[in-house]
A and B are shown apart, each in its own frame.
Chain A
Amino acid sequence: QQQVKQSPQSLIVQKGGISIINCAYENTAFDYFPWYQQFPGKGPALLIAIRPDVSEKKEGRFTISFNKSAKQFSLHIMDSQPGDSATYFCAAGSGGYQKVTFGIGTKLQVIP
């Protein structure tokens, strides 16, 4: 049972285009929504995160959009570059310790 559903599983985008990855959740106890970037052979790296009281957060070319009523959030990568080719994970955290539940990942390929 996936608590955080992520789509698509793979994505091919032209250089300069916009990459969009979507996630949905059911558990309303989730109160923190991070995104991670993982290159082959490396551990995940925290990319950007948002709280549910904010509808959008932007850091450079990366933007999280959050829709609390729909229980959905998405990552937009503007002006996608070949160096952005990686696997991206959405996640959700809750509780005092903030256990983190991950989506299944999206493998992004940005082609020149």
Chain B
Amino acid sequence: QKEVEQNSGPLSVPEGAIASLNCTYSDRGSQSFFWYRQYSGKSPELIMFIYSNGDKEDGRFTAQLNKASQYVSLLIRDSQPSDSATYLCAVNGFIQGAQKLVFGQGTRLTINP
């Protein structure tokens, strides 16, 4: 089982609709969860982080965390064409005995005008 799993997509959503991106993780000890956005040919940029169960809202973005189900999601309301990108879920985990960020493979999102 991969440490962090995402549906690679592509996910196609009409403009103005809600885009829902999902991520599961395997390490129950993970404490911190992050969503990065990566435009094609560019480097990733952090858009949201969440530590506690429940929802966290920032503008059109809402991160949701359910530690019991080992599930984290990102909702994008009123989707815009500029939201078209790959969204990477990242979870803190242990690599070689040290705590590091582990990334999922990313979900490619396309917003259709």
Q: Do A and B come from one complex?
A: no
